[in-house]
């Protein structure tokens, strides 16, 4: 039980880092206009208007993005922990 809680906490932290990391790069498939660029993946949660450097965040998409990445990382960690052989320390 405790290992699943620790795995969940680690997954949320890595999901947060991945969400913030994807916010650095522009979303390749979503461009509203020439001067408006969307940032974030898989959900574009940040909109930047180029000439005046205005940044707007969609907080619901930001939270959903963190949840998405946390679930993906949690599932990967659980598979790795369940499939890896147990080590006998004697």
Query: Is residue 15 in a domain?
Result: yes
The residues pairing with 26 across neighbouring beta strands, listed in sequence order, are 39
Is the Cβ–Cβ distance between 45 and 62 less than 8 Å?
yes
**pLDDT for 85:** 75
Query: Is residue 54 in a domain?
Result: yes
Enter the pTM of the model. Answer: 0.77
Quick check: helix, strand or coil at residue 31?
Answer: strand
Query: Is residue 88 in a domain?
Result: no
**pLDDT for 71:** 94
Q: Report the number of distinct structural domains present in the chain.
A: 1
**pLDDT for 65:** 92
Residue numbers of the domain that contains 54: 2-83
Query: Is residue 89 in a domain?
Result: no
What does pLDDT average to in each consecutive run of 10 residues of the chain (90 residues)? Answer: 83 92 77 73 83 83 93 92 75
Query: Is residue 20 in a domain?
Result: yes
The residues pairing with 50 across neighbouring beta strands, listed in sequence order, are none
Instruction: Count Cβ atoms below 10 Å from residue 58 Cβ, excluding itself.
Output: 16
Name the CA dihedral angle for 21, 23, 28, 34, rounded to a multiple of 10 degrees.
Answer: -150
């Amino acid at each position: 039980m405790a290992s699943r809680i620790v795995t969940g906490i680690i997954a949320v932290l890595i999901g947060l880092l991945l969400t913030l990391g994807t916010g650095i790069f522009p979303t390749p498939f979503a461009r509203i206009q020439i001067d408006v660029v969307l940032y974030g993946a898989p959900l574009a949660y940040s909109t930047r208007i180029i000439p005046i450097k205005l940044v707007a965040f969609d907080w619901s998409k930001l939270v959903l993005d963190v949840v998405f990445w946390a679930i993906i990382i949690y599932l990967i960690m659980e598979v790795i922990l369940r499939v890896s052989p147990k080590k006998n320390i004697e």
